[in-house]
Chains A and B, each alone.
Chain A
Amino acid sequence: MKRLLLIILLLVSSHANALVTDQLMMVRSSQSFPETMATLQEAIAQQGYKLSRVQRVDIGLTRSGYQTDKYRIVFFGKTDEVHQLTKQHPDLVPYLPLKIAIFAEGDETLLITANPLAFAKMYPQKDLQRMFQRWYKDVKHILEVVQNAE
């Protein structure tokens, strides 16, 4: 019993929350860029999403002669959902798949994404609201796993 309490305390006490505004969700990870990237990819998979691609923005920039630190965009989604949405809501296509921007700031790493609840305002169709709610919960969870990784 005591053990249980202790575990709960430990679990809860190390928990930080993502900064959520009406439009954005952001977290800072005190891990370096490669470690954060690995944690992010793992968290995406654990939440039941598939990582479809990583766009290496920094590589494009440095190849063109611009100075920049690590900067990537991680695309992810659920295969069935992407197919279904593309069919039923083509006007949502420009926002698919979901993505998180991840970039280095010194030794730390920042992650930023749109708050899926902001989509709810842009796409008021009833059948989409449940999904936006779930995206919100899932993306927030993914970000917090990354934020709380030691």
Chain B
Amino acid sequence: MARIISQILLLCFAMVSTAMGETGEQLYLDNCSICHGNEGQGGVGIPLALSSFLNQAPDEYIQRTIRYGRPGRVMPAFTHLDDKQIKLISQFVASWRKGPSPVWDETPIKGNPQKGEALYKQYCISCHHAKGQGGQGTGLKFSRPKELPISAPGIGNNGFLHSATDQMIKQVAMHGRKGTPMPSAIRDLGLKESQVDDIVSYLRSLQKPLKSTQQKLDEEPPVLVYDSDYSLKETVANLERAAVGMNFRLIRNQALDYGFVEAEKESTHEEIVFFCNFNFLYEALKLDPRIGMFLPCRITAVERNGKVQVMSINPKRLSHFFNNSELDQACEQMHDTYTSIMEDATL
């Protein structure tokens, strides 16, 4: 009896996992909804359920976008999904489309890229920024004010260029995207079709060969550490002074085991100094709301056998977690700030 039950259980799990785990919907919910929303309404990612988008985006484009991602623009390359799973997801996304799938047309467009660059700088750069790197932040605006209600995507991004055909880019530029800030180059910006061709050729000229998706080993150390010749108490006072000197506001100090044990039992060998520059925090959250998981700013002073060290996370190491090149810059700045504060405090 027990064997039968366990066999039925196994069978049941097998059935359920193929039936549930491998539907496009489930795969979408597991992999995409976090950024694009359960109904494709957008979030950290741009909306996918808009008909103006779906009527321009062939299934092949969606599949390639999943495979290549957008390097440095948050959208990951889903290297762990196989072709079948990617197809299931794109079918699910396509199920939001009302009409037929647009055709995948690889006919190249032969415009003049030099003229296209000049036109790009005149008409597109205000939203898509230099070389099509994309607007500030990604996705929808929500509570974090941005340049636009939907950030302009990275259309010079290598992941985009390897996913979209010339014809698709042209379609988007010619017609714009209803329901988004993306204007029609013809209707709204007054360009001619041949000028759109020039811009398409300019964008195409930005394409580079696909690099292997293998991530290069990260050489940055996980933590920044400095030795202090002062006592723990003096070191903490130095840290506070140095942080204030760098325009930070002190938030609070606490023991490392604060909240785990009663106040009188807290360890006195470690002390965390929390500080914040709200303007910097605000700007960083606009670039990527996920960055909060490494906040607030904090440096910990640790005393072991009379020897004191100060340490912090290494923002440069962690910024690579996010596939967001704007954030990489902010994290580099944070790295330099942490370093200055700790150098100053241990001088």
A95 → B minimal CB distance (Å) = 7
Instruction: Knowing A16-B30, A93-B300, A93-B311 are in contact, say whether A79-B278 is a contact too (CB < 8 A).
Output: no
A114, B281: Cβ atoms under 8 Å?
Answer: no
A110 to B44, CA, bound (A): 10
Among B193-201, B203-211, B289-297, the stretch that binds chain A is: B289-297
Task: Evaluate contact between A122 and B9: CB separation under 8 angstroms.
Answer: no
Interface SS majority for chain B: mixed
30 pairs, A vs B, C-beta closer than 8 Å: A5-B8, A5-B12, A9-B16, A12-B20, A15-B20, A16-B29, A21-B76, A22-B215, A26-B35, A28-B37, A52-B259, A57-B281, A57-B295, A64-B279, A67-B143, A67-B144, A79-B261, A86-B257, A86-B302, A91-B222, A91-B223, A91-B225, A95-B223, A97-B260, A101-B292, A101-B295, A103-B292, A104-B143, A105-B44, A106-B142
Contacts of A95 in B (CB 8 A): 222-223, 313
- For residues 70 through 118 of chain A, which have their beta carbon under 8 Å from a beta carbon of chain B? 71, 73, 75, 77, 79, 82-83, 86, 90-91, 93-97, 99-101, 103-106, 108, 110, 112-114, 118
Chain A residues closer than 8 Å to B97, beta-carbon distance: none
Smallest beta-carbon distance B260→chain A, Å? 4
Contacts A60-B296, A91-B225 known; 19 new A-B pairs at CB < 8 A? A50-B260, A51-B259, A52-B258, A57-B296, A61-B278, A61-B281, A66-B278, A79-B257, A82-B260, A83-B267, A90-B302, A90-B309, A91-B222, A95-B313, A96-B256, A101-B295, A105-B43, A110-B43, A114-B318
Using A53-B259, A71-B285, A110-B43 as known contacts, say yes or no to A94 and B278 having CB atoms under 8 A apart.
no
- The answer to whether B225 and A101 have CB atoms under 8 Å apart is no
Name the CB-closest residue of A to B259. A52
Residues of A within 8 A of B296 (CB): 55, 57, 60, 73
Taking CB atoms and an 8 Å cut-off, the chain B residues in 151-195 that contact chain A are none
> A69 contacts which of B142, B223, B279 (Cβ < 8 Å)?
B142
A interface secondary structure, majority: mixed
* Shortest Cβ distance from residue B14 to the other chain A in the assembled complex, whole angstroms: 11
A69 to B282: give the CA distance in the assembly, Å: 12
| Interface check B337, CB cutoff 8 A | no
Query: CB distance A23 to B321 under 8 Å?
Result: yes
**Residue B245 CB within 8 A of the other chain:** no
Q: Assuming A28-B34, A28-B37, A82-B256, is B320 touching A68 (CB within 8 A)?
A: no
How far does the Cβ of A82 sit from chain B's closest Cβ, in whole Å?
6
Interface string of A17-52 (1 = CB under 8 A from B): 111011110111010000000000000000000111
Q: Digit string of B10-48 for contact with A (CB within 8 Å is 1, else 0)?
A: 001100110010000010011101110110000110000
* Residue B64 interfacial (CB < 8 Å): no
Q: What is the number of residues of chain A that contact chain B, defined by CB distance less than 8 Å?
A: 65
Bound-state CA distance A106–B37 (Å) is 11
| Shortest distance between the CB of B112 and any CB in chain A (Å) | 41
Chain B residues with CB under 8 Å of A68's CB are 143-144, 282, 285
In the bound complex, CA of A60 to CA of B285 (Å): 13
Count class of interface residues, chain B: 35 or more
Distance of A6 from chain B, by nearest CB (Å):
10
- Complex Cα distance, B9 from A16, in Å, reads 20
Q: Complex formed: what's the CA distance from A62 to B256 in Å? A: 27
Expressed in whole angstroms, the minimum distance between the Cβ of B133 and any Cβ of chain A is 22
Q: Which residues of A contact B267 (CB under 8 A)?
A: 83, 86
C-alpha gap A50/B225 in the complex (Å) = 28
**Pairs of residues from A and B, 9 with the lowest C-beta to C-beta distance, nearest first:** A52-B259, A69-B143, A23-B321, A122-B222, A101-B293, A64-B278, A101-B292, A79-B260, A17-B30
Q: Name the residue of chain A whose CB is nearest to the CB of B276.
A: A60
Q: Is B149 at the interface (CB under 8 A from chain A)?
A: no
- Cα–Cα, bound, A77→B26 (Å): 31
Any chain A CB within 8 A of the CB of B317? yes
